[in-house]
Amino acid sequence: MDGPDEVIHQSTRLKITATLNALPSGEMMEFGRLKAILGATDGNMATHLGALEKAAYIEVAKDYVGKKPRTRVALTREGRRAFERHVAYLKDLIEGG
C-alpha cells in the first residue's frame, strides 16, 4: 500500500472500523452501543458514520423495535478489505518498511 486509507485514517473512523471488524461478517451493532464503546457524541458519530457510508465501508440499517427507532451499523465487505489494507500499512510503517 502506498499510504494510509484517508477515510479510515482519522482516529474515530479507525476506532469505528476496528470495532465493527471484530464482529462476524454481516453482523450489525446498534448505534447506541457503538457510540458508548467509543465515548462519542451523537453528532460526532453521525459525521464519521456518514463519511464511512459515503465510501461504502459501512452499511446503516434503520428500523423499529416496537415503536422505538433503531439504527444499526455493519462493516461492508469493501470496508473489511479497506480496514485490512490500512492495518497492513500501519504494520509496515511500524516495521520500518
**Per-residue pLDDT tens for 41-86?**
999 999 999 999 999 999 999 999 999 999 999 999 999 999 999 9
Cβ contacts of residue 57 below 8 Å, gap of 6+?
7, 8, 17, 75, 76, 78, 79, 82, 83
For the whole model, what pTM was predicted? Answer: 0.92
Show me where the domains of the chain are located. Answer: 11-90
Rg (CA), the chain: 14
**How far apart, in whole angstroms, are the C-alpha atoms of residue 43 and residue 28?**
20
Three-state DSSP at 69 gives strand
CATH topology for 11-90 is Arc Repressor Mutant, subunit A (1.10.10)
Q: List, for residues 77-94, the tens digit of each pLDDT value.
A: 999 999 999 999 999 999
CA dist., res. 55 & res. 8, Å (int): 10
pLDDT at residue 40 is higher than 60: yes
Per-residue confidence (pLDDT) for residue 97, from 0 to 100: 59
